[in-house]
Structure 1
């Protein structure tokens, strides 16, 4: 099978993981590009575990990414800077990125956000499988110590909105408001400024959650997590796109991981820029 055909289906989700890991579309996409360049330079790197039938192309692609992440001198600042819909596009140098992306958080994102098994995570990160679960538990414990905030939920499906609200409150955050349309979202923001936004893409009256978020970010900076049934449309790497993106139908742990990572970067003092 041609190399491009093998890689293509997995690239959007590698971008999602890389963006969540770095807290930046620009930084995450830069690491993905570096990964592709490494594979093109050495196609055998995608098959380095070919003798192990349990290592799928998706696992191997993430494994190459992690080797780049751990050892390369990729400087995302060398790439053109875009402003993401999720707002957080202040570019950090690689050494700072490593400080804010410990291995436990990498494991949390790989399992909760990307759905890898613990065995696959061990293969990707080159961590002993016996250690993976302990590191994962440490990352989950860290969530309990994170700052709490007010969360605006922009979602037109009542049951999904209720489920998101339950996850948010279980994490210790407060739901500042809910909205099912663009107009309602702006009214809720005017009534109570949120510290985090969870937004669907398509809303009840045919309006756009993306447009609602743009209008919110013009007023003030806030981390945003998009929830959509069509993530591939927002993971092309060709334009300003969300940093944090969850696929419908979602697992509660995926929402928890995304919220945790968004608040983690906020707590680290990253500047949040509004959509231009």
Structure 2
């Protein structure tokens, strides 16, 4: 049981306690394995293998479209699996506006593991948005496949996707310096989770400001920040923390939003910090 702690900050009241999260696709037969980037601990790779079942039958595919160098992306994504004797993973790269063959789509549809590599989430969505590729990923998940992704591959899991860009400060920074209105850029993601916004590299890169901004401006969403070398495994109505670090969950249940010039404020936000092995329920 988590203790309730009131954190009083300028414009922010945050309550720390146990929480449930509403999520779509809870009736799907498949699972989601969403990694916050960084290195993958050996035990995490073992978990991906066993949860997908590719150690017993079938195969997995790696979708490298987030990367500018898809061949290299496939190589590095496969390496740890090969070290564990899993040779049944294959790269499956799609190019924007290509005429996709039925056999290529069937290879994606029948995969027991679909793994989305890191890179740039915008690049990935630019290739698949509105295509049969997007539909088949959802169908595979609904039919029992494990859909996994790391870094950019984690960000795309949200329906509302954080792009990483600041609208008011175009020079890229891994950490937002402000909690400002109309600053966070949101685009359409893959939508494996309809009412959750995923952020990655979270603790290591102190990305609290942008996730605070997201849930203040989109209060119907739950913000989930996943640290490096850490993942959430979503199965049915449960989120499990897998890996070596924390998962931070933010909610804005009162849809609180205050403004002072362009600074955002909010009260009674809910914050949970989950540790490896902990499980929290989703409705």
Q: Could you state the TM-score of these two structures normalised by the residue count of structure 1?
A: 0.26
Q: Could you state the TM-score of these two structures normalised by the residue count of structure 2?
A: 0.26
**Bigger helix fraction:** 1
